[in-house]
Amino acid sequence: MRIWLLIGQSLKAIFANKGRSLLTILGIVIGIGSIIGLVSLGAGVRVSISDRILALGATNLTILPGAVAGAQSLDPTRTPSQTRGFTLSTSTLTEKDMLSLADRKQHPHIKYVSGEITSSTVAETKTGDKRFPVLGVSPDYFAINSLTARQGRLFTQNHIDQKSPVLVMGNELAKELYGNENPIGNTLEIEGTGYRVIGIFNPADETGLANPNNQAYIPYTAAAETFKSPNFNFIYVQATDEDVVPALKREIRKTLMKNHKITNSSLADFTVISSGDVLSAVDSITNMLTSLLAGIAAISLLVGGIGIMNIMLVSVSERTREIGLRKAVGARTVDILNQFLIEAVLLTLTGGILGIGFGILIGEISEVYLGFTPIVTSSTIVLAVGVSSLVGLIFGVYPAMKASRLDPINALRYE
């Protein structure tokens, strides 16, 4: 019964100075709101990027030239030209490597394999010149990335063998280059070579590493001659099952090291990564950045807590005679202590609840401008409420102790 009486008295004291109480909790509102907003944004970014990476397929592996996959290679927010940061002249991935992996007797757990020669070209459009990516691939590439033809057809192994100058493009690129005209049968000049358009893809999901809807694809044998680039920028592999991916990574390394005549694995001139590897790297980075931003936002909580303590000290000074009178009529030291602690906690708890709404509002506004959905979890809300209450408890201790230790005689004389 006594605790409810103390809560009632604390609420009465808070509402007696509504304006000051509102300004007091403003720092807590901003601090809690910022933390919830940033954490929810971080969670939303992580899920958005993870979905795009998983769109690559849990059974897909990528072989890159170079001993270590650098940060650029693993950053799924970069554009294809930025992501494919290795120059063709430094690539050590050859057609022999791809054909070795395509040997089903040697690698029964490989379902599809395709190399990729990456370049770009410029074409004239009605709105001006446009530069777009051109990828030299094999037919397996379409199966690995679930690309299907909406118009015409895809090129085949026969086109690869004959180095045929044929081209398949994404629907967005076809729209930009040809408008409402049917592009099938048209010739598109790429670096001085005329390529005949034989197919248009169905709309495909953007993977985060590339957007197949605005790219053009040609046989890798033709690309090698057109771009004077005999080696691949990447080799893509699709495993028969997700469970065999770890073992398959070791198999691929063994085969390529043999092809490249490398005996020491630390000297490997290539890197094999899976979607899981990229996802782990992204999770690590986003978690670190979210924690850093939340930590910075938490500084405002410290400022808000100091504000609570200052206002509570002012309140103690203003209510010195009241404290002396209450002690004179029998109020215990612990009662005074509890009342001021409850006032501090109620102020910060109110600020925490308002801060939750402010944080959700930040997320909603960010969704409109950033294009992904923030994720507010129940654990984040519970943590926010707990932290705000803890701040009130910590920063309310000193004013509460000062109030409880006042001598009733001196307090009654105070003016």
Question: In this predicted model, what pLDDT tens digit does every residue of 111-128 receive, in sequence order?
Answer: 999 999 999 999 887 778
Radius of gyration, CA atoms only, the chain: 33
What residues pair up with 62 in beta bridges, in sequence order?
236, 273
Going by pLDDT thresholds of 50, 70 and 90, the confidence category of residue 139 is very high
119 forms beta bridges with 134
Q: Residue 408: which pLDDT band, with cuts at 50, 70 and 90?
A: low
pLDDT for the residue 148:
93
| Residue 184, pLDDT score | 94
pLDDT higher than 80, residue 377 = no
* pLDDT, tens digit, 9 for 90 and up, residues 242-296: 888 889 999 999 999 999 998 888 888 888 988 777 777 777 777 787 777 777 7
Q: Which amino acid is located at 26 in the chain?
A: L
**In this predicted structure, what is the pLDDT of residue 158?**
95
User: What pLDDT does 126 receive?
Assistant: 72
Residue 389 has what pLDDT? 75
Instruction: Provide the percentage of residues in the chain whose pLDDT is more than 70.
Output: 84
| CA triple 168-150-173, angle to 5 deg | 50
* Cα gap 342→114, rounded to integer Å: 68
* For residues 37-58, average pLDDT: 74
The owner of tokens 């650098």 is: 70
Biggest CA-to-CA distance, the chain: 105
263 C-beta neighbours (distance < 10 Å), count:
7
217 within 8 A of 137, measured Cβ to Cβ = yes
What's the CA angle centered on 232, arms 185 and 160, to 5 degrees? 40
How far is residue 234's CA from residue 383's CA, in Å, rounded to a whole number?
45
Question: Who has greater pLDDT, 223 or 352?
Answer: 223
Mean pLDDT for 396-401 is: 75
How far apart are alpha carbons 400 and 313 in whole angstroms?
A: 8
Query: What is the per-residue pLDDT for 70?
Result: 43
β-pair type (166-169, 216-219):
antiparallel
Q: Show the CA angle centred on residue 86, arms to residues 228 and 273, nearest 5°.
A: 120
The pLDDT of residue 414 is 53
Return the higher-pLDDT residue of 116 and 364: 116
Closest to 64 measured CA to CA, from 232, 280, 291, 194 = 232
- What's the one-letter identity of residue 183? P
How far is residue 306's CA from residue 218's CA, in Å, rounded to a whole number?
Answer: 65
| Secondary structure (DSSP) of 230-252 | -SBSEEEEEES-GGGHHHHHHHH
Separation between Cα atoms, residue 245 and residue 241, nearest integer Å: 7
SS (H, E, C) 324-345: HHHHHCCCCHHHHHHHHHHHHH
Q: Is 138 left (phi over 0), alpha (psi -120 to 50) or beta?
A: beta
- 377 versus 120: which is more confidently predicted? 120
pLDDT: which is higher, 70 or 181 = 181
Tokens 């197949």 belong to 212
Cβ proximity of 340 and 395 under 8 Å: no
Rounded average pLDDT over 47-58: 69
Mean pLDDT of the chain: 80
Q: 220, 119 in Cβ contact below 8 A?
A: no
Highest mean pLDDT among 22-26, 62-66, 207-211, 399-403: 62-66
pLDDT of residue 210: 74
Six-digit token string for 278: 């990229």
**For residues 194 and 89, what is the distance between their CA atoms, to the nearest angstrom?**
24
**Mean pLDDT of the region 102-112:** 91
**The predicted structure's pLDDT at residue 74:** 43
Residues in the chain: 415
> Of 377 and 73, which is predicted with more confidence?
377
Pair 226, 214: CB distance under 8 Å? no
Domain chopping of the chain, boundaries:
2-51+282-413, 67-268
- The per-residue pLDDT for 71 is 36
Q: In percent, how much of the chain has pLDDT > 90?
A: 31
pLDDT level of residue 89 (50, 70, 90 thresholds): very low
